[in-house]
Amino acid sequence: MCMGHTWYLAADMQMFVLTPIILIPLALYPVAGWIVAIVLLILSTAGNVIMVYENNFPPTFTIFGDDAVLSNEDRAMNYYTHMYYAAWIRCQIYIMGILVGWVLQKYKNIKINTILNFFLWIIGSALMLTVLFGLYHYNQGNPLPLFWRAAYSALSKPAWGLGLSWLLVSCYYGYGGPINQFMSWNIWVPLGRLSYCAYLVHYPLITYFFGLEKNVIYYSSLWQIVLNFYVPITALSFAVAFVLSVLVEVPAGKLEALLLRPRNQSEKPIKGAGDPAWEILNDPKSIEEKLAKNDDLKF
């Protein structure tokens, strides 16, 4: 692949195509849908454990160390194929997202006890922090038994997904506090709409910025990384994403909506239809109501 990060598009499409396996039972028999989703989660987790045991894989993608993914080319390709790119490994959080979406759609208003909300935030935060810092000693060069490598590889994604799920549920029902306020800022709306295009272009821009360096890149301070790489790459990614969205994504979306718009070919257009004056005279609704809703007829 010329753009290696786009492997996710293939995995995401595979998961999207197979979502009816969960969505149809959820719509018809919710209990059956939950059972199907949980079974698929268990199968994905078990498959993850088996892959780590069979191939002696590390707990996550690693660059350095004796068991690093990139220690040799064959090992790297094996890890990419069976772990990193595999939709059946990546589907854990996707399935959890489907279930969270079903809960939000099914239950519009839920009252959550303050104490329960507090403890669930603690649990969710603890899970996510464990995922982030659980491999600290391993990353310092200390060996990790195969059992714990398999456990981390298989359970880290569901643990992270549980933390995200509670964050979403709590904020949706109004119990997110300052986090909900931060995530509700209007500034995220345009950035969110550009996120797909930014995803497509950010990796080539990272390569470009690194290629501009005349010397070996090394870490000296957090500010050096933020100012020299993070800020310019992020800003340029969204700037290029805006151009790409205006020239490609938005027109393609409009064209798709136009082509897929349902039309009844058997009905002939009625003369005068679409003219506000004609609709007022030929519609049983009151003229006052029509005038109130139609800006074209206001003076």
Structure tokens at 249: 């994504």
What pTM does this model have? 0.79
Structure tokens at 252: 């393609």
Q: What is the pLDDT of residues 92-134, one digit of tens each?
A: 999 999 999 999 999 988 898 999 999 999 999 999 999 999 9
**Position 130, amino acid:** T
Question: By three-state DSSP, how is residue 63 classified?
Answer: coil
pLDDT of residue 287: 44
pLDDT of residue 264: 62
pLDDT over 90 for what percent of the chain? Answer: 55
* Per-domain residue ranges of the chain: 4-184, 190-259, 270-299
Angstrom CA distances, 195 to 84, 237, 242, stand at 22, 9, 10
Contact 160, 128 (CB under 8 A): yes
pLDDT of residue 126: 96
Q: What is the pLDDT of residues 178-221, one digit of tens each?
A: 999 998 899 999 999 999 999 999 999 998 888 888 888 777 88
